A and B are shown apart, each in its own frame.
Chain A
Amino acid sequence: GENVEQHPSTLSVQEGDSAVIKCTYSDSASNYFPWYKQELGKRPQLIIDIRSNVGEKKDQRIAVTLNKTAKHFSLHITETQPEDSAVYFCAASLGGGADGLTFGKGTHLIIQP
């Protein structure tokens, strides 16, 4: 089955700096890669996703890049703000299919004022 590795487990950055979280996946059949943000005690919230036919996607301060050959994808957050502090999860699946998501173990992002 699919295996998703996520690094780092904790990331502390100064407010206004950029943050990068990286994930690798094992199953070359996976073609859908979402990123979720989870605040303490809340449900995961989708913040951005990408399909394997696209190399990069951007939404305001958030971007995701995908390298299918190397089987890795990354989340980039620019101009970080205090409200960006949360746990971020990457995931992979066969998009459009019935299979569930395989998640990474999460990155605790801390924005230092």
Chain B
Amino acid sequence: NAGVTQTPKFRVLKTGQSMTLLCAQDMNHEYMYWYRQDPGMGLRLIHYSVGEGTTAKGEVPDGYNVSRLKKQNFLLGLESAAPSQTSVYFCASKLAGGDEQFFGPGTRLTVL
């Protein structure tokens, strides 16, 4: 039982490049979330999903797209990376009706 995993762990991009971050969970959770963490800012919600094929915007969605084609996976895409997207990205999941969110180990992204 791996819990929540994220791929990759680290990535360096040049401005304008694109990439996709993968989040996977094996707990059969319905809800999944993407957060970003910047120094001194705490974690902020980017997008979330309540089930396969559904997504919704969070607090800071601009510049990101997401997809949830399978219940266990939640993808975060950057179509044209900008230096302002340099951050640590955390994925989380939880059961529908539950309280606790379970976090992945994070992806450290640097955009030059």
By a beta-carbon cutoff of 8 Å, the part of chain A in contact with chain B is: 1, 6, 9, 32, 34, 42-46, 49, 51, 89, 91, 95-96, 98-106
Contact = CB atoms under 8 A, between A and B. Distances in A.
A49 B101 CA distance: 11
B58 interface: yes
Interface of B: 31, 33, 35, 40-45, 48, 50, 56, 58-59, 90, 92, 96-101, 103-106
Contacts of A51: 99
Given A89-B43, A98-B31, A101-B45, A43 B105 contact: yes
A103 B100 contact: no
Nearest to B4: A43
Nearest to B51: A98
* Main DSSP-derived SS at the A contact region: loop
Nearest to A100: B45
A105 B105 contact: no
Nearest to B49: A98
A44 B45 contact: no
Contact of A103 (B31, B43, B48, B98): B43
A34 B100 contact: yes
A64 B69 CA distance: 39
19 contacts: A6-B42, A9-B40, A32-B99, A34-B99, A34-B100, A42-B105, A43-B105, A43-B106, A44-B43, A44-B103, A46-B101, A49-B99, A96-B97, A96-B98, A98-B56, A100-B92, A103-B42, A103-B43, A105-B41
